[in-house]
Structures are given as structure tokens and as C-alpha cells.
Amino acid sequence: MKYQNFRVALLALCCAGLVGGCTLRPVVDSLEPMPAATELLPDPIVTSGYDDTAPEAAPESDTDLWHRVRAGFGLDLDIDNARIRAQRDWYSRHQSYLDRISQRGERYLHHIVEQAEARDMPLELVLLPVVESAFDPFAYSHGRAAGPWQFIPSTGKHFGLEQDWWADQRRDIVASTEAALTYLQQLANRFDGDWLLALASYNAGGGNVSRAITRNRNAGKPTDFWSLELPGETMAYVPKLLALAQIVKAPEDYGLALPPIADEPYFASVETGGQIDLAQAAALAEISLEELYLLNPAFNRWATAPDGPHRLLVPASHAERFSEGLRNLPAEQRMRWDRYTIRSGDSLIGIARRFDTTPAVLRDVNRLRGNTIVAGRTLLIPRPAQDAGNYTLSADARLDARQNRAVSGRRQVTHTVASGDTFWQLARHYRVGVRELAAWNQMAPGDTLRVGQQLAVWTENAGGSTTAASRPEMVRRVSYSVRRGDSLYAIANRFNVSVNQINTWNRINGQRYLQPGQQLTLYVDIRDAP
């Protein structure tokens, strides 16, 4: 396969929350089905491992992984209702979409199938990353879900998927697949082996599904998935997977074709024995750096994480030469370390910013207990072996590509985040959507803004401020003292804001009653102030 051409594909979303406490995505209209990709923050470079050529002629069925997937189906795919048909009709009109997810999934699907088979799970579940992320390991949703299985941060941590400056294991193919299948099995056990309810819970949260079952039971109604009243997006989520499985089962019935995928391992895991520069690793394995990132998308930087796991996935046919190269590589050549002499007036955070690292990394590498440093002493600074621009799928490179992707009919300005800035406030000032502002910067609306952070804004209003010194002129922070008889609704009406915004600004978290004298922080457009 060739890796020169990069293109952006539609992505898919699921915000897989912990049982009873997940974050839901906006409702998707099931009457106008689209792959949930439209709900994701687009990533700039997600498909660099395939080209645009038509798929080769299908191999014999016993060598095609799709044949193995079909043989392992275990759900009732004879169900046919309007919700499934709506989703199936969309897929039927988009052969190119199936081509993309097949070509991208070629790296990962064999591993997922083997893991699901080992657990004796119905193989319809191996198609869930199509619904979740379109097999894009860099997919990131407005609900802060990441990776092929779209774990939110808290659920990822619950299942052992660590997230730090060096790596985000929600994107790790091996670790996230193990976590997702474990989670799905737990949900199925919770609902007595009902996989449709498990899938609905993966999307909406087990608590929401349990409450819907209780409501139906109390009303004397059936409690199967099709009879439950669930969030609109969840009502379309399960039919989307079933529609996809029906197409995989018999693509010719719908005028479609699935590009063949070889029924053999695409990658092998090689122990590295410690931290290593990814450019160095790619050279040892004799593969492109882009291919290495696509097989190891958890890594945010130019090197593997210092604390492990100390393994890299490489194409199976290259595993032996990579192992041999590691054995012959002197330890001092695994990483590049620069020595920096501390100067008077230096701070650890200032040095970290200068060398594109973090104070925590410098403390760890140099075994510092705090942020105190002494002029004249030296610090070890981890540095990439090649020019930073060569690490085209690192977090910084993906962010740069995303921020600078032109938006038709708009011009780009740069906003430097100042204290008190929020996505809502900035979106209102620049007259753009909150979600699109977050997406341009490869973030979610719920992500925290950092003072000094540079945001790309594609605006039709070219007069917007571009630095921290020129703050939005019309929005002011107001401290409001609650009066007797006040309600959130009344206050929101008075200041032309929403109840949800007041809740977010003040972390009220659904507090039912306000107390007279209680202080609320509001961000108010002075043109709307009472």
C-alpha cells in the first residue's frame, strides 16, 4: 500500500460512558441517517495508509476476512423495520464510504476478530468501530471520546487506558480493543445476555437503559430494545450496526461490494525494552513513519512513552527485521537527549515551553522533586531525532494541519486565550459555532482552555480580536446575587442566556433550588443586559 496521499474521511462517534453515568451525544435524526461521522471533530490526517485505486479482485472466500466475520455472526439479522432500513439505505448509496472503512480497517480488523472469537462473542460486534469511528484511530468527538472505540476519559481510565502528555491509550489498538470487549461483555451480563441492550448501553449508558426498562415494565409494556424509549441517537445507533451487518452478510443484495481483507494478521507486537524515537523505530522496521503511527496511534509525540508499555506494532512481515535492528541498536541511540545549562531567571515551565515538552517530563527525566532549578546546573531535554515536521501524525502535527485547513468563504484569525475565556464567549464574539470553534482546534467544547493557548478561528467577521490584549468587547463577566423568588429560568431569561450555561459557569450540576444571596457568575453581552 502507498502512504503518500492523505485525505480526510468521515468519522463516527460514540460517547461510551460508565454504567449509569455516560455523556450523551446530540440526537441524530434516524429518518435522515448519516454515519455518526458528522458528530465528530474531523481529524486532518486519518487515512494515509491507502490509495484511491479500486480494490483488487476478491480472493477465494476462505482467505477473505469478511467470510470469517460472516461465519461468526450471532445476532438476529432477519429483523427488518424502518429504523434499520433507513440506515441501510444510506450505506447502500455510499459505496465509497464502505471502501474507505474497509481499507482503513484492514490494519485492525483481523486482531479485533481474533479477540472477539476468543471470548465467544457475536462477530457483529467487530463492526462497532465502523459505527464509532469509521476505523479512524485518531477520531475525537465533541463529547471528548477518542480512539477507534470512542472511550470518554473517565471510562477509559476505569478500564486501564491511561492518558498523558506522551500517549493516550484510548487510541491504542490492542489496549482499547481489550477494554471495549470487556465493557461490552459486562453490559451483556448486566442485561442477561441481550446484546442489543448491551449495545444500546455502550452508547447511552447502562443506567439510562435500565431506567427505560423500568418505565416500560411499570407501564406493562415489553422491555426489549425495540420497545424502549431511549435517546434519539441511541434509537438509531443499534439499527446502524444491524444495517451494516446485514450488508456485510450479503453485500450483493444491496448492490454493494466489500473490498477483500486478507484473513491473516496485519501486525505483530515487538517488545522494545524501553523508550525509543519513532523515526528511529520506523527506520529499523523499514516502514514509513506514517505507517508506524497508524499502527501505534496512541503516541502523541515523537517517541514512545517512557513508562511503557514498551512495545510497538509493526507489519507482521517486518517484525523480524525490526527485532534484529533493536538488538543491534546501542542504547544511547534510541533517543536523542540534549543537555541544557540553566541560566539565571529560567523557570522549569519556561524551559519546557521552549523545548516543546512539559515540566512533568523534565521533572521525571531529571529526577526533580519540585519545580526548583539552580542556575549553572544542566537538564536533560528529550528531543526528536528528526525535524518535528517529519512526525506528521503526532498530536502537534495533526493540530497544526487541522487549524490551517481552509474553510471556504472565511478567513483565519488567531486568538490567544486570556484568563476567563470560554468557548461559548469566544464563539459568540467571533460569530461562529461553539462546536466548529472547538473542531478547528481539534478539541471538544468541554475541554479546558489554557491561558496563552493559540486558537485558530475561521470567521466571516474579519474584525475579530486576535490577541489576549483585545478581549471581546461586548461580553462581560457579571456577579449576580440571587434574590428571593429567583429561578434559573427567570435569571436566564433576564440576561438572555441559557439555563445550561448558568449551570456550566457555576457548576450547579442540576441544583434544584437557589438560595437568596447566592452568588452566580454570568457572562453577559452588555447589549442584552437588563
Residue among 331, 332, 361 nearest 349 (CA)? 361
- The lowest-confidence range among 6-20, 237-251, 401-415 is 6-20
**In the 8-state DSSP scheme, what is residue 395?**
H
> Is 125 among the domain residues?
yes
Residue among 140, 133, 72, 75 nearest 108 (CA)? 133
**Residues 285 and 375 reside in one and the same domain:** no
Question: Average of pLDDT values for 163-191?
Answer: 95
Question: Average of pLDDT values for 328-356?
Answer: 86
**Residues 171 and 231 reside in one and the same domain:** yes
Cell matching residue 330: 546501542
**Residues 43 and 81 reside in one and the same domain:** yes
What pLDDT shows up at residue 52? 33
Active site residues: 132
| In the block, residue with C-alpha cell 531529571 | 366
How deeply is 417 buried, as exposed, middle or buried, from its count of CB atoms within 10 A (0-12, 13-18, 19+)?
middle
**Residues 328 and 345 reside in one and the same domain:** no
What pLDDT shows up at residue 450? 85
**Residues 69 and 196 reside in one and the same domain:** yes
**Residues 290 and 203 reside in one and the same domain:** no
**Residues 312 and 374 reside in one and the same domain:** no
More confident of the two residues 42 and 286: 286
What pLDDT shows up at residue 510? 53
Provide the domain count of the chain. 4
**Residues 152 and 193 reside in one and the same domain:** yes
Note if the pTM is more than 0.85. Answer: no
**Cβ contacts of 343 within 8 Å, gap of 6 or more:** 375
What pLDDT shows up at residue 512? 55
pLDDT at residue 4 is higher than 50? no
pLDDT at residue 47 is higher than 80? no
Q: 113: domain range?
A: 36-50+58-254
**Residues 358 and 234 reside in one and the same domain:** no
**Residues 200 and 213 reside in one and the same domain:** yes
Cell matching residue 18: 460508565
- The lowest-confidence range among 30-39, 203-212, 460-469 is 30-39
**Cβ contacts of 487 within 8 Å, gap of 6 or more:** 514
**Residues 320 and 242 reside in one and the same domain:** no
What CATH number corresponds to the domain at position 343?
3.10.350.10
> Is 435 among the domain residues?
no
pLDDT at residue 82 is higher than 80? yes
What CATH number corresponds to the domain at position 247?
1.10.530.10
